[in-house]
Amino acid sequence: MAFDYSPYLRGGKLPHIWCPGCTYGIVFKSLLRSLDGLKQNKDDLALVSGIGCASRLPGYVDANTLHTAHGRALTFATGIKMARPEKRVIAMSGDGDATAIGGNHFIHACRRNIDITVLVFNNYIYGMTGGQHSPTTPVGHKASTMTYGNVDPNFDIAKLAIGAGASFVARGTAYHVPALDKILTEAIEHKGLSVVEVINACPTTHGRRNKFKNATDQLLWMKDSFLPKAAFEKLPADKTEGKLPLGVLYKDGNATEYCETYFAMTAGVRAQNEGRA
């Protein structure tokens, strides 16, 4: 039987705003399947996003949903989590939202290892505003603000997250869908800050400017460019050019989670004060 998405969808909010060929819908469905697999109670779930095409996703989900300001999703999410640490908080952003304007918040959320799942929809471009280059636009690619080919060096989002202290970091793509379902499930279940970089295609503002005939072409590029971590690690050094590993890239199950540590501290303060009284 086909999977029934309707329990997690808000009535009357479809069709979504995404362009034909945009891969965000694929990730959206994967997220809903993962939530369903986890039997996630919708009342206990907050989805928080910034601004951009990716950040429109929460509006379609029947949960507590917050569409914040450009780059700031993790700041709002942190406040929510500190106020209600027992609730599930999932934040999501485009690559620009998460790593350009929101880059500072991104690394600090990773550093705190606060129990939030962060999905970064990396489509290598600023989609919503019409294709300006982002911190992940490949060098040489054309963008509306890089007419002659991008000269800005890139971030590797997964490496950035690992370096900043996130305790779970994974990479998935809109092509490798069954793997993505598993990754998202594991990321959401993980206690601590989990980052999933999800490779996406923006045919409208990136693909067609850069010699991809259509969205399928971009999906096939994903198929060829990303391979499971184990397979990637077996590649001889001269064969890794242009390829990146997929799957869970880093996981520390013992890292201390921010809210747990903070509230253990405050409980200790109260216990001590009561002892004194």
Interacting residues toward ligand TPP by CB under 6 A: 51-54, 70, 94-97, 121, 123, 125-129, 134
Which residue number has the CB closest to ligand TPP? Answer: 94
Contact 133, 146 (CB under 8 A): yes
Segment contacting another protein by CB under 8 A, of 25-33, 42-50, 148-156, 206-214: 42-50
Q: Which of 95/186 has CB closer to ligand TPP?
A: 95
- Of residues 24 and 155, the one with the C-beta less far from ligand SF4: 24
Cis peptide before 15 (omega within 30 of 0): yes
Pairing relationship of beta strands 88-94 and 45-49 according to DSSP bridges: parallel
Query: DSSP of 138-191, one letter per residue?
Result: PTT--BTTBTT---S----HHHHHHHHT-SEEEEEESSSHHHHHHHHHHHHHSS
Shortest reach from residue 203's CB to ligand SF4, in Å: 6
18 contacts which partner out of ligand SF4, another protein, ligand TPP, none, CB within 5 to 8 A by kind?
A: ligand SF4
99 binds, among another protein, ligand TPP, ligand SF4, none (CB under 5 to 8 A by kind): none
Q: How far is the CB of 40 from ligand TPP (least distance, A)?
A: 24
43 touches another protein by CB under 8 A? yes
80 binds another protein (CB under 8 A): yes
Nearest alpha carbon to residue 199 among 150, 141, 156, 140? 156
CA 216 from centre of chain = 22
Interaction pattern, residues 113-142, with ligand SF4; x per rule: CB under 6 A: ----------x---xx--------------
Minimum distance, C-beta of residue 68 to ligand TPP, in the bound complex (Å): 11
Tell me if 53 contacts ligand SF4 by CB under 6 A: yes
DSSP reduced 3-state for 220 = helix
In this chain, which stretch among 16-24, 183-191, 221-229, 259-267 interacts with ligand SF4, using CB under 6 A? 16-24
Buried b (16+ CB within 10 A) or exposed e, 10-26: eeeeeeeebeebbbbbb
* Helical (H) or strand (E) element with 27: helix 24-37
Residues numbered 60-89 forming contacts with ligand SF4, rule: CB under 6 A: none
Q: Which amino acid is at 28?
A: F
Q: Name beta bridge partners: 93.
A: 120
- Enumerate binding residues for ligand SF4 (CB under 6 A): 18-19, 22, 24, 53, 123, 127-128, 202-205
